[in-house]
Structure 1
Amino acid sequence: MSIDIEDFEERTSAELEEPSNAERVLRFLYENRDKAWKASTVAERANVNENSISAVLNRLKEQDLVRHKGSYWAITDDTERLRRAHQFHRTVQRFDELYGEEDREEWVEASERSNE
């Protein structure tokens, strides 16, 4: 895949990144919040691999960002929670852009050293 050089020059690194599967699912469900969907349809419409969709939806359910009933999924009706999650996500992306991404292994090692 390619992009125009103008886009390359004008956009930030974060803007050039592809959205994650979770972002795609949330965007699709939010844009279609008047309906509930089967997982396979969510995968197809959100452009997420069907083998990954159950894990993505279950992770979002654990975070109370989607609802699940029977074989259907829908965006949360808690719009404040959804807004805060989106705001937090954007803040983390901005910090990563400014200061670099955190290295999980470094945090684990530091934690283990402090527990010794």
Structure 2
Amino acid sequence: MPIAADDFDRLPEKALDLTEGSNAQIVLTFLSEHPDAAFRQNEIIEGTEVKAGSIGPVLSRLEERGLVRHKGKYWTIGEDDRLASYAAMAQTFATADERFPDEDMGEWLQHAENPYDEHSEDE
């Protein structure tokens, strides 16, 4: 879905793609579903089916933003408060998909409030 040029100008230089199905979203969801565990990269690959050549850069970008952390060869979900919200949101979407399998989440999101829309706060 396109965004307005003004919104484009406000995006950070290194925007992280967390849209549904992106590698970053898949890895973050996997780690948020296992908050009490730490994984090696090959275990994350097996658990997510993200390609081996992509996993390192994805984990590095997530770590730059504090969304994941690692020690040695192990990676786990970060400790940021935003992640609790992300994990809850991921669980909500999973529950919604289970309860309403015939609904198209994309159609729902088309009608969701756009945080970049200047008029959304006025309504």
TM-score range, shorter chain: 0.5 to 0.7
TM (norm. structure 2) is: 0.52
Match of 2:54 among 39, 48, 52: 52
CA distance in 2, matches of 1:18, 1:33: 20
**Structure 2 unaligned regions, length at least 5:** 1-18, 90-105, 112-123
CA distance in 1, matches of 2:20, 2:69: 25
Work out the percentage of aligned pairs sharing the same amino acid.
43
Q: Counterparts in 2 of 1:1-116, with a 5 A limit? A: 19-78=21-80, 80-82=81-83, 83=85, 97=110
* Aligned residue-pair number: 78
Q: Which has the larger radius of gyration?
A: 1
Aligned residue identity for 2:54: S
TM (norm. structure 1) is: 0.55
Aligned residue identity for 1:81: R
Structure 1 ranges of 4+ moved more than 2 A? none
CA distance in 1, matches of 2:60, 2:36: 20
**Structure 1 unaligned regions, length at least 5:** 1-16, 88-92, 99-116
